[in-house]
Structure 1
Amino acid sequence: MINTQAVFGHKCPHFPGIGTGGRVQMPSSCISKLDPNARQMRIVPWGAAEAVAQILLGHVQAHLSAKTVILECLDKQQAKMRIQVEQKGGGYTWVNPGTTVRPYLLLVAEALFLSANPELKERWEALIKVACPDAAPLSARRLDQLSHETAFKEALYPVLDTLYTSGKVFGGSRSEIEADLPDPGSYPHTPIFRGGKKQASQTHDTSEEGRLIRRASQGVRALLCGPTGTGKTELGKRVALKLGAKLVSIKGRPGLEDRDMIGFISPTPQGPQWVDGPLARAWRLAQQGERTVLLVDELLRLDPYHRNVLIGGLDDVSAQELHLMLGVNVPEGRYYTLELPGNGEVLYASTALLSVICTTNVGSSYTQSGEIDPALLRRFQRVMFVSYPAEQDIMPVYERVMGASAARAAYALEVKTRTMTTQHGQLLERPMNIGVTLNYLAEAKDLVALGLSEAEALEEALGVTVVPFCCSLEEGEPDIAAVKALEITLQDVLKACKVAKVA
Structure 2
Amino acid sequence: MINHKAVFGHKCALFPGIGMGGRVTMPGNVVSKLDPSAKAMRVVPWGALEAVGQVMLGRVGAHVAGQSVTLQCRDKDDNVLHIGLERRGNHVHWINAGSTVRPYLLLLAQAMFLGDIPELSERWSNLLSRGRNLCSRKEGQDFSARELDRMSHDNVFKDALYQVLDTLYSAGKVYGPNYTESEQDLQAPGSYPQTPVLLGGQAVTQRASSGSAEGRLIRRASAGVRALLCGPTGTGKTEMGKRVALALGAKLVSIKGRPGLEDRDMIGFFSPTAQGPRWVDGPLARAWRMAQAGERTVLLVDELLRLDPYHRNVLIGGLDDISAAEVRLMGKDVPDGRYYMLDLPGADEVLFAPTSLLSILCTTNVGANYTQSGEIDPALLRRFQRVMFVSYPEEQDIMPVYEAACTPSAAACAYALEVTTRTMTTEHGQLLERPMNIGVTLNYLAEVKDLLACGLSEHDALQEALEVTVAPFCCSLETGEVDSAALKALQIKLSDILKSSVQKVA
**Into which bin does the TM-score normalised by the smaller protein fall?**
0.5 to 0.7
Question: What is the aligned counterpart of 1:301 among 290, 299, 306?
Answer: 306
Checking the alignment, whether the CA contact within 8 Å between 2:208 and 2:215 is kept in structure 1 is no
Shift of 1:468: 0.8
**CA distance in structure 2 between the partners assigned to 1:467 and 1:286 by the alignment:** 44
C-alpha deviation, 1:318, in angstroms:
1.2
Tell me the equivalent position of 2:477. 473
Query: How much has 1:370 moved relative to structure 2?
Result: 9.6
Q: 1:349 to 1:290 in 2, by over 3 A?
A: same
Question: 1:417 corresponds to which residue?
Answer: 421
1:432 aligns with 2:432: no
Deviations 1:371-395 (A, max 9, x none): 3111111011011111111111212
CA separation in 2, counterparts of 1:285 and 1:337?
A: 13
TM-score (norm 1): 0.57
1:353 and 2:352 equivalent?
A: no
Please list, as runs of the form range in 1=range in 2, the aligned pairs for 1:25-424 lying within 5 A after superposition. 205-324=210-329, 326-366=330-370, 371-424=375-428
Q: Alpha-carbon deviation of 1:274?
A: 0.6
Q: Distance in 1 between matches of 2:449 and 2:243?
A: 28
Contact 2:288 2:358 in 1 (8 A): yes
Shift of 1:203: 12
Measured in 2, the distance between the counterparts of 1:367 and 1:215 equals 31
1:489 maps to 493
C-alpha change, 1:215 and 1:282, in structure 2 (3 Å) is same
Deviation string, structure 1 residues 174-230 (Cα, Å, up to 9, x no partner): xxxxxxxxxxxxxxxxxxxxxxxxxxxx99711111111110111100011111121
Mapped contact 2:303–2:363 kept (Cα < 8 A) = yes
Corresponding residue number in structure 1 for 2:130: none
The CA RMSD over aligned residues, in Å, is 2.2
Distance 1:392 1:286 in 2: 35
Q: Percent identity?
A: 78
CA distance in 2, matches of 1:235, 1:369: 23
Q: How far apart are residue 366 of structure 1 and its match?
A: 2.2
TM-score (norm 2): 0.57
In 2, Cα distance between equivalents of 1:345 and 1:468:
48
Distance (whole Å) between structure 2 residues aligned to residue 403 and residue 348 of structure 1:
49
Is residue 230–residue 237 contact of structure 2 (8 Å, CA) maintained in 1? yes
For the 8 Å contact 2:475–2:487, the answer to whether it is kept is yes
CA contact (8 A) 2:250 2:296 kept: yes
2: CA distance, partners of 1:500 / 1:265:
63
The answer to whether the Cα contact below 8 Å between 1:224 and 1:359 also exists between their aligned partners in 2 is yes
Taking the aligned partners of 1:397 and 1:227, their CA distance within structure 2 comes to 19
Counterpart AA for 2:259:
P
Task: Please say which structure displays the higher CA radius of gyration.
Answer: 1
Are 2:225 and 2:355, in contact at CA under 8 Å, matched by a contact in 1? Answer: yes
Distance in 1 (alpha carbons) for counterparts of 2:208 and 2:295: 28
Offset at 1:354?
0.7
Contact 1:251 1:297 in 2 (8 A): yes
Tell me how far 1:363 sits from its aligned partner: 2.1
Unpaired runs of at least 5, structure 1: 1-201
Shift of 1:292: 0.8
Q: Residue 388 of structure 2: SS of its match in structure 1?
A: strand
Amino acid in structure 2 at the alignment position of 1:290: E
SS for the counterpart of 2:352 is: strand
Matched residue, 1:92: none
Distance 1:219 1:379 in 2: 14
Deviations 1:6-43 (A, max 9, x none): xxxxxxxxxxxxxxxxxxxxxxxxxxxxxxxxxxxxxx
The secondary structure found in structure 2 opposite 1:491 is: helix
In structure 2, relative to structure 1, the CA distance for the partners of 1:209 and 1:500 (3 Å cut) is closer
Which residue does 2:164 correspond to in 1?
Answer: none
How far 1:367 moved relative to its partner? 5.8
Aligned-partner residue type, residue 246 of structure 2: L
Q: Whole-Å Cα distance in 2 between the matches of residues 281 and 307 of structure 1?
A: 18
Where 1:219 maps in the other structure, the secondary structure is coil
Paired residues of 1:362 and 1:368 also in contact (CA < 8 A): no
Select which of 443, 447, 453 maps to 1:443: 447
Contact 2:266 2:282 in 1 (8 A): yes
| Pair 1:455–1:233, CA change in 2 (3 A) | same
C-alpha distance in 1 between matches for 2:374 and 2:355? 26
Task: Show CA shifts across 1:260-297 (max 9, x none).
Answer: 21111012232211110001111111111111110001
For 1:377 and 1:332, the matched residues in 2 are separated by: 27
Secondary structure of the 1:498 match is helix
Aligned AA (1:451): G
Partner of 2:384: helix, strand, or coil? coil
- The unaligned stretches of length 5 or more in structure 2 are 1-206
Deviations 1:140-172 (CA, angstroms, capped at 9, x unpaired): xxxxxxxxxxxxxxxxxxxxxxxxxxxxxxxxx
Contact persistence 1:361–1:367 (CA under 8 A): no
Give the deviation of 1:246 after TM superposition. 1.0
Match of 1:134 in 2: none
Decide whether the 8 Å contact of 1:258 with 1:264 is kept in 2: no
Contact 1:225/1:369 (8 A) holds in 2: no
Deviation at 1:316, TM superposition (A): 1.3
Deviations 1:101-149 (Å, cap 9, x if unpaired)? xxxxxxxxxxxxxxxxxxxxxxxxxxxxxxxxxxxxxxxxxxxxxxxxx
Q: Secondary structure at the match of 1:349?
A: strand
- Deviation of 1:500 after TM superposition, in Å, equals 12
| Kept after mapping to 1: 8 A contact 2:306/2:373 | no
Q: Take 2:502 and 2:363, find their aligned partners in 1: how far apart are those partners?
A: 38
Query: How far apart, CA to CA, are the structure 2 residues paired with 1:396 and 1:231?
Result: 14
State the distance in 2 between where 1:203 and 1:477 align: 42
Q: Distance in 1 between matches of 2:345 and 2:483?
A: 48
Q: CA deviation at 1:477?
A: 0.9
1:453–1:500 Cα contact (<8 Å) kept = no
| Paired residues of 2:425 and 2:433 also in contact (CA < 8 A) | yes
1:369 shift after superposition: 11
Work out whether 1:463 is the aligned partner of 2:467: yes
Check whether the contact 1:362–1:369 (CA below 8 A) recurs between aligned residues: no
